[in-house]
A and B are shown apart, each in its own frame.
Chain A
Amino acid sequence: MVKGCSPWLKALLLLLLILGAFVSIIPFLFMASHSLKTIAETITRSSAIPFDPKFWPRVPQWINYRVAWQEARFGLYFRNSVIITAVTIGGIVVTSSLAAYAFTKLRFVGRDLIFSILLATLMIPQTVLLIPNFVIVARLGWIDRLPALTVPFLASAFHIFLLRQFFSQIPDELIEAAKIDGASHLRSLISIVVPLSRAPIFTVVFLCFIYTWNSLQWPLVVTQTPRWRPIAVGLSVFITEAGPDTHLRMAGAVIAVLPVITMYFIAQKQFTEAITRSGLKE
């Protein structure tokens, strides 16, 4: 809260924050409530206001989740998403930490130039990269295989940039002291820098998790069968051509988004701390 403000101003700010939080949560409540309605209720009992009884189902239809799970083959897609996300996060954390350490704690010719070039790659839209990435992946024979879904994303300029901002705040004296004690750069990274950077690393993990978990276009391009397709593909099954099955679509959305929300609650403290300290927004 703002220090030195009058109690009235504080109360007003608090009220605004509560209002903002309430407005933000309405879509999630809508998704959850409609996932538990009958198809008839999605047609006749629909409201955008949670205080309206029509917003809620009369009797929760938990069976919608079972139907959605089966129709969209969520079991397979869920497993695939977990594997793809875990591999990608592991790769991102390792490569981003190593690169960020090099860009902050090592001195070598062209360091700043290379970093500038790396940053410039952030300006290239993902859509433009789609074809070159696909050509490479296809020529490597990775189509419809796990490496196609993970390897292109094992390094990220944005995450390197994010970690570099934090690593640069760690005094060089700590690294120098470790060096005098015989520590290599890798030892310094693992024993000093990483433990001091838990919050930003959690942030990298969280952002990478959201991006990978929700990705749809790339997985569809590089897969041909359901074998390695992620959960977003399962969700797209409920986008129909000429009419809604709102209850099933919402149930599918809840299934797909639940891990993201869970992940956020686990990493909430570190994520907020990291964003606050860096002033970054994505």
Chain B
Amino acid sequence: MKRQIVLIAVGLLLAAALCWGSPQGEESVLQDADPTGIEITYWHQFTRFQQETLEALVEEFNNTNQWNIKVRPEFGGRYDDLYNKMVTAIAAGSVPDLVAAYQNEAAAYQVSGALVDINDLIDDPQWGLGAERSDYFEGFLQQDVNAQFGGARLGFPPNRSLELLYYNLDWLKQMGFSGPPKNWDEFYQMCKKATNPAENQYGYAINTGASNVFAQVITRGGEVAKADGSGYTYNTRQMKDSMAFMKKLYGEGLSRKIAERYGEQNDFANWKVLFTMSSTAGLPYYAKSVAQGEQGPFDWSVAAVPHTTARPALDIYGASVSIPKSTPQRQLAAWLLVKFLTQPGPQAKWVEATNYFPVRKSTAEQLGDYLGKNPNYKTAYDLLLNSDAKAEPPFSGYSEVRDAVDAAFNKILDGADIDATLRELDEEANKIHQEAAP
């Protein structure tokens, strides 16, 4: 709701902002631009060791690029704070040259026409990706193409992560299973066998967030949005099956809602829960928790979310970087930084510091023995190569839709009728979509 208010405020102030801020109309984004000596700013969301790594990479770029471009990285707050900062900056006409943004956030910025269509940069004969393009994971690149804006590319991925199933292999073996579940029926059986109220043990820690819902729906061959960007599809058979399955699991006491943020990691480390679903970005945190758990270290890993599709279907996510409209020189300078950050060398350094996935296939060659030393990361990386990766809707207003999905999931778990709740959710999501449309 807060974001809706801000969006409305942006709309009201857009005209004023354009009067003194926006310099470029419909011209080409490069226009024989010369980026020599340009100084630009990059608003990011990283803190602590991630911030240190990013700043080191930017410094490397500053010291080595042939155009003497200088980039100033600035921490703009975590995602929500950064979003508010950016919305405010758009209205005032004082945007940065590069900004971290989720796809739906970039779409919200583009409602005001604030971003560069990166297709123009990628395809530029002089400055574009050229032959290197095939080295990028196409699924990652497609995530930033937004049907709501006629296929404009509103961001570019510096890294990605996946939603995967975390499982306790030692516990599974104790119960007589050889490995993680491949489909939802096996998942149910394992959860049932693991649940022991006397020992406070249960099968699965439910995350009611929209990403988790999406991850379940795609494993049943469904989608939550129309491909042409015209709306959401939350009242589908796959969605109903997903909700019915989770409701059954929850109703039989085989799963519990996550009550404390990241509390499921502690339960996992202490053999209280057999399965969780989480981002691959959590791998180092799980490793740390397991190493410190009550029962000491144990054998655990990650697997594809159980599926009924032929190949595993995995939810890919992660913030991209967007280039706000400024001058052709500044836009080009920002693009050159993005290109540098996605070169295999910098990507390898970024992977080792953050555990995110690289966006280029050839990065694996640069990772040396990192994959060997981090078997769980390698498992996840192999899954990436052998699955159908799908992304959540990149639409403007998806942030509010996510809240609605979370609320509906909770209502269903607490006893609400699935058909009625999903019908209402579908209506609400599409209403939000219409309101937030460009």
A binding-site residues for B, Cβ under 8 Å: 39-40, 42-44, 46, 71, 125, 127-128, 130-132, 134-135, 138-139, 143, 216-217, 220-221, 224-226, 233, 236-244
Cβ contact within 8 Å between A43 and B6:
no
B binding-site residues for A, Cβ under 8 Å: 2, 5-6, 9-10, 13, 16-17, 41, 47-48, 74-78, 81, 84-85, 87-89, 91-92, 94, 161, 261-262, 265-266, 269-270, 278-279, 281-282, 284-286, 288-289, 292-294
Cβ contact within 8 Å between A44 and B293:
yes
For B81, give its contact among A39, A127, A220, A241 (CB under 8 Å): A220
- Across the interface, which residues of A come within 8 angstroms of B91, CB to CB? 131, 134-135
Cβ contact within 8 Å between A242 and B278:
yes
Cβ contact within 8 Å between A131 and B92:
yes
- A–B complex contacts, Cβ < 8 Å, 21 sampled: A40-B292, A42-B266, A43-B265, A43-B270, A127-B5, A128-B9, A130-B84, A131-B6, A131-B87, A135-B17, A138-B94, A220-B77, A226-B75, A233-B77, A236-B81, A237-B47, A237-B48, A242-B279, A242-B281, A243-B265, A244-B262
Give complex CA distance A42, B16 in Å.
Answer: 51
Specify the main secondary structure of chain A where it touches its partner: helix
Q: Give the 5 A-B CB pairs with smallest separation, nearest first.
A: A243-B285, A40-B292, A242-B282, A242-B281, A244-B262
Cβ contact within 8 Å between A127 and B74:
no
Minimum Cβ distance to chain A for residue B364 (Å): 22
Closest to A133 in B: B88
Please give 7 more A-B residue pairs, beta carbons under 8 A apart, in addition to A43-B292, A220-B76, A220-B84: A44-B294, A131-B10, A138-B92, A220-B85, A236-B77, A241-B281, A243-B265
Minimum Cβ distance to chain A for residue B295 (Å): 9
- Across the interface, which residues of B come within 8 angstroms of A44, CB to CB? 266, 269-270, 292-294
For B292, give its contact among A39, A127, A131, A221 (CB under 8 Å): A39
- Across the interface, which residues of A come within 8 angstroms of B48, CB to CB? 71, 237, 240
Given A43-B270, A127-B6; A221-B88 close (CB under 8 Å)? yes
Interface centre among B5, B76, B289, B293 (most CB of A within 10 A): B289
Cβ contact within 8 Å between B84 and A43:
no
Minimum Cβ distance to chain A for residue B187 (Å): 23
A-B pair count, CB < 8 Å, reads 103
Minimum Cβ distance to chain A for residue B20 (Å): 9
Give complex CA distance A238, B51 in Å.
Answer: 12
Cβ contact within 8 Å between B279 and A134:
no
- Across the interface, which residues of B come within 8 angstroms of A40, CB to CB? 292
Minimum Cβ distance to chain B for residue A68 (Å): 11
For B285, give its contact among A138, A224, A242 (CB under 8 Å): A242
Interface centre among A125, A128, A220, A242 (most CB of B within 10 A): A242
Closest to B87 in A: A131
Closest to A44 in B: B294
- Across the interface, which residues of A come within 8 angstroms of B278, CB to CB? 242
Cβ contact within 8 Å between A217 and B84:
yes
Minimum Cβ distance to chain A for residue B261 (Å): 7
Minimum Cβ distance to chain B for residue A56 (Å): 17
Closest to B318 in A: A241
For A244, give its contact among B10, B81, B261, B293 (CB under 8 Å): B261
Give complex CA distance A233, B262 in Å.
Answer: 22
Cβ contact within 8 Å between A243 and B284:
yes
Cβ contact within 8 Å between B6 and A130:
yes
Minimum Cβ distance to chain A for residue B70 (Å): 15
- Across the interface, which residues of B come within 8 angstroms of A236, CB to CB? 47, 77-78, 81
For B88, give its contact among A71, A134, A238 (CB under 8 Å): A134
Give complex CA distance A139, B91 in Å.
Answer: 12
Cβ contact within 8 Å between A243 and B84:
no
Closest to B281 in A: A242
Give complex CA distance A135, B93 in Å.
Answer: 9
Minimum Cβ distance to chain B for residue A179 (Å): 47
Give complex CA distance A226, B89 in Å.
Answer: 18
- Across the interface, which residues of A come within 8 angstroms of B85, CB to CB? 220-221
Closest to B5 in A: A127
Minimum Cβ distance to chain B for residue A236 (Å): 6
Minimum Cβ distance to chain B for residue A140 (Å): 12
Closest to B9 in A: A131
Closest to A129 in B: B9
- Across the interface, which residues of B come within 8 angstroms of A217, CB to CB? 81, 84
- Across the interface, which residues of A come within 8 angstroms of B16, CB to CB? 135
Closest to B287 in A: A243
Minimum Cβ distance to chain B for residue A150 (Å): 18
- Across the interface, which residues of A come within 8 angstroms of B2, CB to CB? 127
Minimum Cβ distance to chain A for residue B55 (Å): 12
Minimum Cβ distance to chain A for residue B358 (Å): 17
Interface centre among B48, B282, B293 (most CB of A within 10 A): B48
Cβ contact within 8 Å between B13 and A135:
yes
Closest to B13 in A: A131
- Across the interface, which residues of A come within 8 angstroms of B5, CB to CB? 125, 127-128
Give complex CA distance A135, B16 in Å.
Answer: 10
Give complex CA distance A226, B76 in Å.
Answer: 10
- Across the interface, which residues of A come within 8 angstroms of B75, CB to CB? 226
- Across the interface, which residues of B come within 8 angstroms of A43, CB to CB? 265-266, 269-270, 289, 292-294
Give complex CA distance A233, B81 in Å.
Answer: 10
Closest to B86 in A: A221
- Across the interface, which residues of B come within 8 angstroms of A135, CB to CB? 13, 16-17, 91-92
Cβ contact within 8 Å between B265 and A244:
yes
Interface centre among A40, A131, A237 (most CB of B within 10 A): A131
Interface centre among A125, A216, A238, A241 (most CB of B within 10 A): A241
- Across the interface, which residues of B come within 8 angstroms of A130, CB to CB? 6, 9, 84, 88
Cβ contact within 8 Å between A134 and B284:
no
- Across the interface, which residues of A come within 8 angstroms of B6, CB to CB? 127, 130-131
- Across the interface, which residues of A come within 8 angstroms of B161, CB to CB? 242
